[in-house]
A = this chain, B = another copy of it.
């Protein structure tokens, strides 16, 4: 039950899978079928182990929400575990667990996804349960009254009491004026305080339907068998009239923005973000890939520029990272964030980062750097292929943001084809002060008066 604020392929994949042993890639190319009710099913065979991952991805998330009801997608995700007419409170998780599986869910800006990892011969169990809760959720008011308190506690713990996350939330809300990417996935506390179960019912009816979902299955299964099983369980569900989400286009940013965030914290923190295109919003298809490679040149691994120059070299930075994903429904930010090392200021850190960006604009990256990125990319793809879960996740994400899932197979080739000249071109075209937002966390002592009023200082158990 995670609220993903940002999804970065490489970071996540490498972080999680880097310690797994490399095995030969034997996953099939994948095949798809769409049921008459609109449910799209994508199946990939991977027979290395007798297991399967089953994932239902709904095209709904925080970027579909409107002011006043932010956080509703994530709240609904929580309530998806609170029972249907057939399977009561807690039974979903219990049944999966009894069958030796694990399951969970996560909400992002562009999607809400549910997954089960099971022995391959138990796939029907996952399908029956997911098909049931796709249309038959009961949403009991009493359960919602309890669960919304859990969600608010989750928000206090992860955002209000976490200085970097709170700063990041304010950064996005200030960087974007109108784009729904300004909205935190968990929702604003003021909205959570007034969210009603009736609003959730409407949200559920509007978006949870076979024709707004992608079913992704990867593992030790045969596509024909999966399609037949899906037909049996999901086939009877009725399609819903899905109204495309309203286009809320970000107005052109007209100059640099700087915000200061004074909150109780131990370390200062800097986050800088440039407005950049993503694949869905871009005619010149190569530009987002060039931005991904640029991000990797700066911060991909220990031998990346920022690690080498700013952390180990000048030692201005204690930590530093970049973040960008080419796979989003709407234009995104290219961010650089980090903390200065002891004895160095935020201003020095920003100056160093600007110097790095200036170099990218003026001098082409070297072939050696490009080769390093390519090797890392290929390695991470191999790691990724080792996990049936992440193979399915890649497919589900691409489909959910409106892209063709086959793009997953082209990703490494697309990135590998990027040239030094293209990286220089996107640096000069997009990393401009006029679309930059800079947020600085200025730590206050813990007894400061600046503690935000919605911060409780207390963190309890979260689900």
Interface residues of A (CB under 8 A from B): 66-68, 166, 170, 173-174, 177-178, 180, 188-191, 194, 246-249, 251-252, 254-263, 434, 440, 442, 450, 452-454
| Contact call A247/B194, Cβ cutoff below 8 A | yes
Residues of B within 8 A of A256 (CB): 259-260
| Contact call A258/B258, Cβ cutoff below 8 A | yes
Instruction: Supply 18 further A-B pairs (C-beta < 8 A) apart from A254-B452, A255-B440.
Output: A67-B67, A68-B248, A174-B257, A191-B248, A194-B246, A194-B247, A251-B452, A252-B452, A254-B261, A254-B262, A255-B260, A255-B261, A255-B442, A256-B260, A257-B258, A257-B259, A258-B259, A434-B450
**Complex: A194 Cα to B177 Cα, angstroms:** 18
Q: By CB atoms of chain B within 10 A, which of A189, A246, A255 has the most?
A: A255
Known contacts: A66-B68, A257-B260, A260-B257. The answer to whether A251 contacts B178 by CB under 8 A is: no
Known contacts: A66-B66, A257-B260. The answer to whether A453 contacts B252 by CB under 8 A is: yes
Residues of B within 8 A of A247 (CB): 190, 194
A230 to chain B, nearest CB (A): 35
Known contacts: A252-B453, A261-B255. The answer to whether A190 contacts B173 by CB under 8 A is: no
Residues of B within 8 A of A66 (CB): 66-68
Known contacts: A249-B190, A434-B262, A450-B434. The answer to whether A170 contacts B68 by CB under 8 A is: no
Residues of B within 8 A of A453 (CB): 252
Q: Can you list 24 A-B pairs, Cβ within 8 angstroms, ordered by A? A: A66-B68, A67-B67, A68-B248, A173-B177, A173-B178, A174-B177, A178-B188, A190-B247, A190-B251, A191-B248, A194-B246, A251-B452, A252-B453, A252-B454, A254-B262, A254-B450, A254-B452, A255-B440, A255-B442, A256-B259, A257-B257, A257-B258, A258-B258, A262-B434
Residues of B within 8 A of A252 (CB): 452-454
| Contact call A251/B194, Cβ cutoff below 8 A | no
Residues of B within 8 A of A251 (CB): 188-190, 452, 454
**Complex: A425 Cα to B68 Cα, angstroms:** 34
Closest to A438 in B: B258
A366 to chain B, nearest CB (A): 31
Residues of B within 8 A of A263 (CB): 254
Closest to A436 in B: B260
Q: By CB atoms of chain B within 10 A, which of A67, A170, A260 has the most?
A: A67
A182 to chain B, nearest CB (A): 8
Q: By CB atoms of chain B within 10 A, which of A254, A257, A259, A450 has the most?
A: A254
A72 to chain B, nearest CB (A): 13
**Complex: A68 Cα to B247 Cα, angstroms:** 8
Residues of B within 8 A of A440 (CB): 255
A183 to chain B, nearest CB (A): 9
Residues of B within 8 A of A249 (CB): 190
Residues of B within 8 A of A454 (CB): 251-252
| Contact call A259/B255, Cβ cutoff below 8 A | yes
Closest to A250 in B: B190
Closest to A257 in B: B259
| Contact call B178/A170, Cβ cutoff below 8 A | no
Residues of B within 8 A of A260 (CB): 254-257
Closest CB pairs A-B (n = 10): A255-B260, A190-B249, A255-B262, A258-B258, A257-B259, A254-B261, A68-B246, A67-B67, A173-B177, A256-B260
Q: By CB atoms of chain B within 10 A, which of A251, A256, A453, A454 has the most?
A: A251
**Complex: A173 Cα to B252 Cα, angstroms:** 13
**Complex: A191 Cα to B68 Cα, angstroms:** 17
A155 to chain B, nearest CB (A): 12
A451 to chain B, nearest CB (A): 9
Residues of B within 8 A of A67 (CB): 66-67, 178, 180, 248
Closest to A434 in B: B262
Known contacts: A255-B262, A257-B258. The answer to whether A248 contacts B452 by CB under 8 A is: no
**Complex: A194 Cα to B188 Cα, angstroms:** 26
**Complex: A262 Cα to B433 Cα, angstroms:** 11
| Contact call A170/B452, Cβ cutoff below 8 A | no
A463 to chain B, nearest CB (A): 25
